[in-house]
Amino acid sequence: MSHLRPPSIAHGVVSFLWGLFFGAFIWLGSVAVGVTGATAFIMGSVAGFLIFLAVYVYGADGPPAQPERRAARPR
């Protein structure tokens, strides 16, 4: 029986989805509180792009640190 694993998704795709989701959230929230549609769309688009950049640049986990190897003792 094989073990189920989640699919591997590229970091750029994940960053895009974060930006898209929060940009749409800001757009819909702005419209809900009375901001005009065009202004809300521009604010949501700019915020979504900035969120995409922030997640893309700072959101990736680095490779795990490898323990330092001790130098071999001279024999």
pLDDT at 1: 61
**Of residues 24 and 73, which shows the higher confidence score?**
24
Taking the CA atoms of 25, 27, 28 and 29 in sequence, report the sign of the dihedral they define: positive
Among 18, 26, 2, residue whose Cα is nearest residue 53: 18
Answer whether 0.85 is exceeded by the pTM. no
Q: Are 55 and 15 in contact (CB under 8 A)?
A: yes
Cα angle vertex 18, ends 63, 28, to 5°?
A: 165
Q: What is the pLDDT of residues 1-55, one digit of tens each?
A: 677 877 788 889 999 999 999 999 999 999 999 999 999 999 999 999 999 999 9
Domain range summary for the chain, segments of one domain joined by +: 11-58
Strand positions, DSSP E, 2-70: none
CA distances to 1, 3, 56, 57 from 45, rounded to whole Å, are 46, 40, 16, 18
